[in-house]
Amino acid sequence: MKLLIAKVDETLYQGEVYSVTLPTAAGEVTILGEHMPLATTLKEGIIRIRKEKDSAFEEFSVTKGVLEVTRDGATVLL
């Protein structure tokens, strides 16, 4: 699945991932490829990216943001 994590003036991550786990206002969610469309706000915590099924996590700190999931992938705006 395609993933973009960006701030107004900076791209933090852009590429293909197996999964992304995020701290949303409703609780932690994990997004995999073919996930149903979703839009939600993020709360303070850690975004964890897994590039391949059994790979180690790459982590990003987040204080707040927005997540949008479409059939094409996921976009996180911080």
Mean pLDDT of the 33-43 span: 95
Q: How confident is the model at residue 30 (pLDDT cuts 50, 70, 90)?
A: very high
What is the tally of structural domains in the chain?
1
- Reading the block at residue 33, the tokens are 């490829």
* Domain ranges, residue 60: 2-65
Degrees (nearest 5) of the Cα angle 4, 74, 23?
Answer: 95
Query: Do the domain assignments include residue 71?
Result: no
* Residue 47: predicted pLDDT: 98
CB contact at 8 A, 11 and 75: no
Query: Do the domain assignments include residue 50?
Result: yes
Query: Do the domain assignments include residue 15?
Result: yes
* Residue 26: predicted pLDDT: 92
Residue 17 maps to which CATH number?
A: 2.60.15.10
Query: Do the domain assignments include residue 73?
Result: no
Query: Do the domain assignments include residue 42?
Result: yes
Using one digit for the tens of pLDDT, what is the confidence trace for 39-72? 999 999 999 999 999 999 999 999 999 999 998 8
Q: Pick from 74, 78, 65, 77: which is nearest to 15 by CA?
A: 74
Query: Do the domain assignments include residue 25?
Result: yes
